[in-house]
Structure 1
Amino acid sequence: MHFTHYTVDTVSSSCGVTGSTLQIYSFKILELKNGLEWPLKLYGEVAARDTVDRNRNILFSQSRRNYQNLSENGSLCLTGPTRAIVALDSDFEVELEIVMEEESQGKELITLSMRYDGKGNSLMFENSLCKAELNLEQLPEAVQATIVGVSVVEGEWPFENGCRVACNVAGALHEVVLKEVRGEKVQEGSNGYLPLVRNVVSVKSQRTLEVVIKSYDECGVVCTVWNFSFPAKQCQISESECSVDSLKGKLKVKVVVAWSLLVKEKRDLLLDYPVVEA
């Protein structure tokens, strides 16, 4: 969101750019070895580093106390990236441990780092205990979209039995899941806001971002669907409202998306004012 509040003619082309980014879809433990069995109580971090600042861009982070219970064929509940990942010379670091009930410290599952070479749509991490896969895609000429708000602006709270919020980017391989809860109530945030797990996605320039929100009934069946479409922008804010009729009456949901060009270099992160091109 570094350039969100600028206008197109106030951002220098040497600072804000469209560029090749990495869209992160999932991280799965594909195989367990040496007698390990499902489910796993996992905690630790999965992170990316790119050429902008080399700092960790967190994709998954859980403490030992707040571990994730991962079943077979399940994916880690990703919370990032917090900004778009520049594809050039991107490194990924995995540090995951297993909660051991009888021990005060966890058991290391996997600690590895790998560089993405621009080939393929996955990175494989493997050691003597497991095999894991990071599923991703390189998107050329992309901008950053941050879903800053999903709120119910009219009608009763519709997520008593869970919900799914996902983004579909035109031309991309898969959808990006921002939140998915089944069989339990999603707590309402202040002013009717729906708290998301992930917020940032990359969108190809001149393409469209689609946000699809679904609510479930008591049987886990989709009962209400809201669809939103946002043409990609280089900066500023997009808002859209969608109303549907349901058994609870009229339900209107609002989605707010913040757009931004990519930061080209670390020094550009220090900018706090528009740079007008000569």
Structure 2
Amino acid sequence: MTKMPSAGHKNNRRWHERFKGDVAAFVVTTTLAGFICSMLFSNCFCTVELSLERLTETVQATILSVRVDEQGPWPFEYGGRIMCSSPPHEVKDPLSKQVVLVDSHSFEGGEMPMGTAGYIDLSWRVVSVKLEDSLQFVIQAYSQSGAIARQSSVTFRTKYCNVSRGICKIGDSVVEITIAWSHIVKHKREIHLEGHV
């Protein structure tokens, strides 16, 4: 088990610890900077990064749908990736700062998972966002070689409740994103005060 320092520790801190899992031994590297904690689990087969951050005064963003307008061309001929971050980060930032909603590289054949009427089947749909912050979506289309051929972004301001819709143009294609915002209840007394969840 990796021992974690208190959340109030503001200095960068890194330490290593070895432990044996069910399959292979891992080396854990943990870095703490403010309230953001990143842990790298690595062995001779792979490296997995787990990033944690404590958020206060948050709302829940549920991505109801991501839909490609069928009147335009399909932008993901060779697959693609859709991710979001809050606060918005440059695309060049490490993926550990992004929440990947879907990546065609994770699917057999590398095709973007698609439902009916242009709707994309997301692997992840719910994220927490600071109430006074914003949520940025980045859409990337891959080339035949698997590199990023095109990308675009759209940013949403958070809401205490209600639904937001935004348009993201990638090449000649139009992608519509619909989000439902909801308050995260911390205490039972909040339910009594508002009369509902």
> TM > 0.5 between the two?
yes
1:223 pairs with one of 149, 166, 179: 149
Q: How many residues align?
A: 160
Which whole-Å CA distance do the structure 1 matches of 2:182 and 2:62 have between them?
8
> What is the identity, as a one-letter code, of the residue corresponding to 1:206?
E
Query: Percent sequence identity over matched residues?
Result: 35
1:210 pairs with one of 132, 136, 140: 136
CA displacement at 1:224 relative to structure 2: 2.4
Which whole-Å CA distance do the structure 1 matches of 2:161 and 2:60 have between them?
9
Which whole-Å CA distance do the structure 2 matches of 1:206 and 1:217 have between them?
36
**Contact 1:31 1:132 (8 Å CA) reproduced:** no
Unaligned stretches of 5+ in structure 1? 1-29, 35-95, 99-107, 111-117, 126-130
CA displacement at 1:202 relative to structure 2: 1.3
CA displacement at 1:195 relative to structure 2: 0.8
2:72 pairs with one of 155, 159, 162: 155
2:50 pairs with one of 110, 118, 134: 134
- For 1:14-93, list aligned pairs within 5 A: none
Q: Normalized against structure 1, the TM-score is what?
A: 0.48
CA displacement at 1:145 relative to structure 2: 0.8
Which whole-Å CA distance do the structure 2 matches of 1:124 and 1:267 have between them?
39
Residue 167 of structure 1 corresponds to: 84
Which whole-Å CA distance do the structure 2 matches of 1:242 and 1:209 have between them?
14
Cα gap change, 1:205/1:243 in structure 2, threshold over 3 Å: closer, same or farther?
same
Cα deviation 1:123-163 (Å, max 9, x = unaligned): 688xxxxx976321112221111111101013232223221
**Contact 1:150 1:193 (8 Å CA) reproduced:** yes
Question: Root-mean-square deviation (CA), in Å?
Answer: 3.8
> What is the identity, as a one-letter code, of the residue corresponding to 2:65?
G
State the secondary structure of the residue aligned to 2:117: helix
Higher RCO (CA-CA < 8 Å; seq separation 6+): 1
**Contact 1:166 1:178 (8 Å CA) reproduced:** yes
Which whole-Å CA distance do the structure 2 matches of 1:32 and 1:164 have between them?
34
> What is the identity, as a one-letter code, of the residue corresponding to 1:190?
T
Which whole-Å CA distance do the structure 2 matches of 1:185 and 1:132 have between them?
24
Residue 54 of structure 1 corresponds to: none
Cα deviation 1:155-203 (Å, max 9, x = unaligned): 2322232211111211788111111123621232111111111111111
CA displacement at 1:119 relative to structure 2: 6.0
Q: Structure 1 residue 143 and structure 2 residue 73: aligned?
A: no
Which whole-Å CA distance do the structure 2 matches of 1:171 and 1:188 have between them?
26
Residue 201 of structure 1 corresponds to: 127
1:239 pairs with one of 165, 168, 172: 165
Which whole-Å CA distance do the structure 2 matches of 1:124 and 1:97 have between them?
17
Which whole-Å CA distance do the structure 2 matches of 1:161 and 1:33 have between them?
40
Unaligned stretches of 5+ in structure 2? 1-15, 27-33, 42-46, 90-95
State the secondary structure of the residue aligned to 1:190: coil
Cα gap change, 1:242/1:124 in structure 2, threshold over 3 Å: closer, same or farther?
closer
- Of Structure 1 and Structure 2, the greater strand share is in 1
Which whole-Å CA distance do the structure 1 matches of 2:86 and 2:132 have between them?
11
**Contact 2:35 2:53 (8 Å CA) reproduced:** no
**Contact 2:60 2:127 (8 Å CA) reproduced:** yes
Which whole-Å CA distance do the structure 1 matches of 2:166 and 2:139 have between them?
13
Q: Normalized against structure 2, the TM-score is what?
A: 0.65
- Of Structure 1 and Structure 2, the greater helix share is in 2
